[in-house]
Chain A
Amino acid sequence: MDFQGFVITLISIITLFSITMFIALYSTFAERKVAAFMQDRRGPNRAGPGGIFQPLADGLKFFMKEEVIPVASNKFLFVLGPSIAIMSSLMTGVIIPWGGQLIVFGNTVSLQIVDLDIGILYVFAVLSVGVYGIMIGGWASNNKFSLMGAIRASSQIISYELSMGFSIVALLLVTGTMSLHEIVERQHGMNWNIFYQPLGFLIFLICAFAETNRTPFDLPECETELVGGYHTEYSSMKLGFYLFSEYINMFISSAVMVTLYFGGYNFPFMDQLLHATGSQNLVTIVGTILLFAKVFFFIFFFMWVRWTIPRFRYDQLMNLGWKGLIPLSIVWLMLTAAGVLFFKS
């Protein structure tokens, strides 16, 4: 890699990292505001105008709290758990195409940091690494509730990964490529995959809720049964890492959903806009802004569901995963395959 390319990659990774952290920070604020709105309260409104500095105060509090490492815990693994959790959730962002081509001082800069030809598999690989963060942390705490939470989390994530994989395979049959860049390019304009894969998207959405441990599938950290779930023993910024990784996962999985099913940075009439203004940069910037608008809608959707639908029981969760979603996704895969065979040949 030449020096210029290296600098561009470094800058884009740092930018992506800051944006991800910023969005995760303000997702916590948004969650409390949305919850307040749903429950007819005001929510946090003391720090700054309208409570806008509340996340900074929360972050500061996390850093100032005493850090407790239980005596009987496995100390190395206890620290390793949250580190893996946050690292793996930050890793997926590099693969997502955040926009088209920007032309800066005569250089063409792609807003996708890495374009792998097997982008989707990379997402899955990182996802499967993320399980270890929860499992290791839960086990190393040496606490029965933590262990229960960790075991619930891992079995839930493994179970829902299957139907998520099947819904992705159905999508791959339609798009014919595994590269996220090409998948987005194929959805040019309004030709979004959601119109070809409505049921696949629904399955993917449900699985995304389960994979990110969000309500109604937040049994790993079910307060009413398990105190705090896998992070019962954690305090200070290590707890902050776990909570943060959940919000980052929410952001990243919203971005993956938008990329796969809702056209990524494509928007209707983009060709007309390019034709009228003749500026590629303008189209790219509008596309990126709209991409983030779609992502924010899905983040809001995650919160909306959290404050609307109560939590499942664990056997209901497993029944839905194994007896509901997996057969459904296999049937959908068959239907898609038949459709592709019928219409494309």
Chain B
Amino acid sequence: MLTSAFYLIAFITIFFAIMVVASRNPIHSVLYLVLTFFSISAMYIFMLDATFVGMVNVIVYAGAIMVLFLYVLMMMNLNTDAEPKKSNLFKITAVISGGMLLLLIVAALHDNNLVNANKSTLANEKIGSIKVLGNVLYTQYQLPFEIASVLFLIAMIGSVVLGKKNTASQTIGNEVLK
């Protein structure tokens, strides 16, 4: 039962993921990506009982980040003739780098025996519940958790600084032109 559910959800996820790349219209791509995130959330919720992670995935990725993606795409001119023609060299480079990334991921997964490593954690059925997760995050993994949050803070401040710097350099540019 659980295995067939896994294969069903996995199939749906991969189908949507392929459609992201395969669809011509960028808006459709983004919407398929949203559906991919939803199926990944379904995987968390049904397979691991990790309702918290599943919901947060929906809120953060499907709800916030993809809305911003869609937001930017909607303001662009999406006519096909306005699209710049990509040279063959560009396509070949993309294929090679994509293939190398795939190789890297496969190699990393191959060396790590994930199935055995996770058995001890999976034995705990409540692993996905918010109480267990909070306990683990704030005791066992407190340092990595705090470092990650500092990283986010740096990224946030960095984007603000970059935004400010742009306007400053523009005014300097104008003064130089005068």
Query: A residues bordering B, Cβ < 8 Å?
Result: 74, 77, 116-118, 121-122, 124-125, 127-129, 131-132, 135-136, 139, 147, 150-151, 154-155, 158, 161, 178
Contact = CB atoms under 8 A, between A and B. Distances in A.
B58 interface: yes
B75 interface: yes
A158 B59 contact: no
21 contacts: A117-B129, A117-B130, A118-B52, A118-B55, A125-B55, A125-B63, A128-B63, A129-B58, A131-B63, A132-B31, A139-B27, A139-B74, A147-B74, A150-B74, A151-B75, A154-B70, A154-B71, A158-B67, A161-B63, A161-B64, A178-B130
Given A154-B67, A154-B71, A129 B55 contact: no
Contacts of B58: 125, 128-129
Given A117-B129, A151-B75, A178-B130, A131 B67 contact: yes
B74 A124 contact: no
Chain A's interface: helix, strand, loop or mixed, by majority? helix
Interface string B5-35: 0000000000000000000000100010010
6 A-B pairs closest in CB distance: A128-B63, A121-B55, A125-B58, A125-B55, A139-B74, A125-B59
A307 B51 CA distance: 41
Chain B's interface: helix, strand, loop or mixed, by majority? helix
A124 B55 CA distance: 9
B15 to A, nearest CB: 17
B155 interface: no
A125 B64 CA distance: 10
A49 to B, nearest CB: 45
Contacts of A154: 67, 70-71
B32 to A, nearest CB: 12
B56 interface: yes
Nearest to B71: A154
Interface string B97-125: 00000000000000000000000000000
A135 B63 contact: no
Contact of A121 (B52, B62, B67, B129): B52
Nearest to A127: B63
Contacts of A135: 67, 70-71, 74
A101 B128 CA distance: 28
A151 B71 contact: yes
Given A125-B58, A158-B64, A118 B71 contact: no
